[in-house]
């Protein structure tokens, strides 16, 4: 479980990373940031991160994990990818990129190729397009 350590400041200490993003480095936030960022880019759900925290011996409620993931997202540390209304993934890669969603395994992976989206509509008056998320859903054949 080493490799890809140096990607985008992957070796930054959790408390430093939180402080830089303008978040107070509480113990629980540090625990979650450490689990999220120590192995390079990844996609996690709140449930998965909650399980990892418990497995590592940290008593953190699922609600706390949800709150932290949303706070990290607002602070620019994560990108939220909504696959279904009830199913969000949080992505440590905040750069522009798109995803495959494996419906059989419930797994999100990055698409390495560039995708072009054409025919985007004019956004409603007084708004601008912030970003376009493409989720290509796949199944086993
Ligand atoms: Zn991604």
Any idea where the domains of the chain sit in the sequence? 7-138
pLDDT score at 5: 38
87-90: long-range contacts at Cβ-Cβ below 8 A with a sequence spacing of 24 or more?
87/45, 88/45, 88/46, 89/43, 89/44, 89/45, 90/36, 90/43, 90/44, 90/45, 90/46, 90/49
Instruction: Give the Å distance between the CA of 43 and the centre of ligand 1.
Output: 6
Tell me the per-residue pLDDT of 93-106, one tens digit each, with 9 for 90 and over: 998 899 999 999 98
pLDDT band at 11; cut points 50, 70, 90: low
Provide the CATH topology of domain 7-138.
Arc Repressor Mutant, subunit A (1.10.10)
**C-alpha to C-alpha distances, 44 to 24, 68, 81, 128, 134, nearest whole angstrom:** 22, 13, 10, 28, 18
CA 94–ligand 1 middle distance (angstroms): 8
Distance (Å) from CA 51 to ligand 1 centroid: 20
| pLDDT at residue 122 is higher than 90 | yes
pLDDT at site 35: 95
Scan for tokens 């602070």, then name that residue.
Answer: 75
Flag whether the pTM goes above 0.95.
no
Q: Where are the alpha helices (DSSP H) in the chain?
A: 14-20, 27-37, 46-55, 62-74
Q: What's the 119 CA to ligand 1 centre distance in angstroms?
A: 24
Mean per-residue pLDDT of the chain: 89
Rounded average pLDDT over 56-81: 95
């Amino acid at each position: 479980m080493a490799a890809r350590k140096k990607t985008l400041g992957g070796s930054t200490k959790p408390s430093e990373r939180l402080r830089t993003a303008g978040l107070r480095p509480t113990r629980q936030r540090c625990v979650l940031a450490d689990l999220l960022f120590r192995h390079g880019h990844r996609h996690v759900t709140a449930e998965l991160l909650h399980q990892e925290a418990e497995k590592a011996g940290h008593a953190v409620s699922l609600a706390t994990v949800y709150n932290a993931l949303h706070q990290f997202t607002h602070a620019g540390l994560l990108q939220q990818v909504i696959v279904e209304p009830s199913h969000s993934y949080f992505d440590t890669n905040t750069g522009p990129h798109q995803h495959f969603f494996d419906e059989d395994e419930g797994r999100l992976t990055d698409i390495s190729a560039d995708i072009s989206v054409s025919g985007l509509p004019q956004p409603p008056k007084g708004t601008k397009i912030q970003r376009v998320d493409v989720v290509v859903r796949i199944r086993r054949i």
